Amino acid sequence: MTSSTMPERNNEGFLEDARAWTEDIAIRIAADDSIQLSENHWEIIMFLRYFYKEHEMSPPSNRLFVKAVKEALGENKGNSIYLMQLFPGTPAKTACRIAGLPRPTNCL
């Protein structure tokens, strides 16, 4: 981990500027949630960043997040249980925060 400063984040921990994201920052944000990023986490994070680049938005809800992962990565990864194990709580919200993306619009 480098000693770079953490970019500005809102009160929920989302980056104010998605362009400030780096993999090092993702590791630090994940650590705030006691998540140690594995290859499986990175696969979902990079998928989300690609999704955001293509659609100019985060998946708007957990249900659509699961569906998008299922379409891109298959049923084994596109299911709620798998994603909750990787990103506890609200998977779409947690994963988007770590990926440096805006808060999904319909996540609690």
CA gap 48, 4 in Å, rounded:
24
CA gap 47, 71 in Å, rounded:
11
Whether the CB-CB separation of 96 and 10 falls below 8 Å is answered with no
Beta strands in the chain (DSSP E): none
Q: Is 96 a catalytic residue?
A: no
Catalytic residue among 55, 77, 107, 108: 107
Helix (H) or strand (E) holding 80: helix 80-86
Q: How far is CA 13 from the centre of its chain?
A: 12
Q: Which residues are catalytic?
A: 107
